[in-house]
Amino acid sequence: MAVALFFTAACSPLRTFNALMPKDGGSRIVLRDAAFGAGPRQRLDVYAPIRPADSSRPMIVFFYGGSWSGGTKAGYTFVGRALAARGFVVVIPDYRLVPEIVFPEFLKDGAAAVHWARRHAAELGGDPDRIVLMGHSAGAYNAAMLSLDPQWLGADRAAIRGFAGLAGPYDFLPFDIPVSINTFGAWPRPEETQPVRFAGAGDPPALLLHGAKDDTVLPRNSVALARTLRAAGVDAEYRAYPDVGHAGIVTALARPLRGNAPTLTDVVEFANRVTGRR
């Protein structure tokens, strides 16, 4: 079994964690609760650098985790501010959750958020043709599927310059725990739910980060996806962080905890490279 358990317990406390963490200067929220759909969870926040730029900035769309059944963008201001302070326009969407919906509805929401980001990029100072998709845990799954399976983004997939996944589940058949059964069990063709099955030539570059001590989503998920992408000729890098667990890889994006793992440095370096930003 590729996944022992999915990330749930840490997600509600992340809202409290977020409130307590000092935020990066030089960045701000520029849009809150913008609608990309009709539902109450089809809303997003946008962060940007304070300093004006001479040209449009690359964009990062970040999807949070929570076993597809929890989480809120309000718990991830520390992520938006950290990435915006490094020169990116950052979009963090909510999306509909289980049990209100099941696979693939949350992917439809993710795709709608990316379409929104492209349409509104210019007014936000972003470049609609230089987008990196990023996510943690279930959010890394969402970002992977949008990056690898062409059906979700259609023509807009050409704007995806890279995918950065933090501790994502990418290869987790069979469905044998409640989270995977409840989220994916009704889909008649289970293989169509697995990101690793869509990895192939022409996919965007990938950075796959995992904590070596992650016993929630096992590191072999990232190993398997990186191996499959590289076999197809795709630029894919896997990095394992010693002594880091499932939540620690994303909380290391917060200012006081950056000594725990180089998550921010590695993601920013990757995003700069794939978007051609110096």
Strands 43-49 and 27-35: antiparallel
Q: Give the C-alpha distances (Å, rounded to integers) separating 252 from 31, 115, 249.
A: 25, 29, 5
Looking at residue 12, its pLDDT comes to 60
Convert the pLDDT of each residue in 4-44 to its tens digit. 444 444 456 788 999 999 999 999 999 999 999 999 999 99
pLDDT at 4: 43
pLDDT for 52 equals 87
> 11-275 maps to which CATH number?
3.40.50.1820
> To 10 degrees, the CA torsion angle through 73, 77, 80, 86?
-170
Q: How far apart, in whole angstroms, are the C-alpha atoms of residue 262 and residue 77?
A: 19
Question: Residue written as tokens 């950056």?
Answer: 258
Q: CB neighbours of 224 closer than 8 A, spacing ≥ 6? A: 2, 170, 171, 196
Written as tens digits, the pLDDT of the chain (278 aa) is 344 444 444 456 788 999 999 999 999 999 999 999 999 999 999 999 999 888 999 999 999 999 999 999 999 999 999 999 999 999 999 999 999 999 999 999 999 999 999 999 999 999 999 999 999 999 999 999 999 999 999 999 999 999 999 999 999 999 999 999 999 999 999 999 999 999 999 999 999 999 999 999 999 999 999 999 999 999 999 999 999 999 999 999 999 999 999 999 999 999 999 999 86
Q: What is the pLDDT of residue 242?
A: 98
- Virtual torsion, Cα 78, 138, 70, 181, nearest 10 deg: -170
Would you give the DSSP letter of residue 40?
T
The whole model's pTM is what? 0.96
Parallel, antiparallel or unpaired: strands 57-63 and 206-211: unpaired
The domain spans of the chain are 11-275
Phi and psi of 240, rounded to 5°?
-110, 130
Per the structure block, which two tokens stand in for 65?
A: 């985790």
**Contact 251/17 with Cβ under 8 angstroms?**
yes
Predicted pLDDT of residue 5: 41
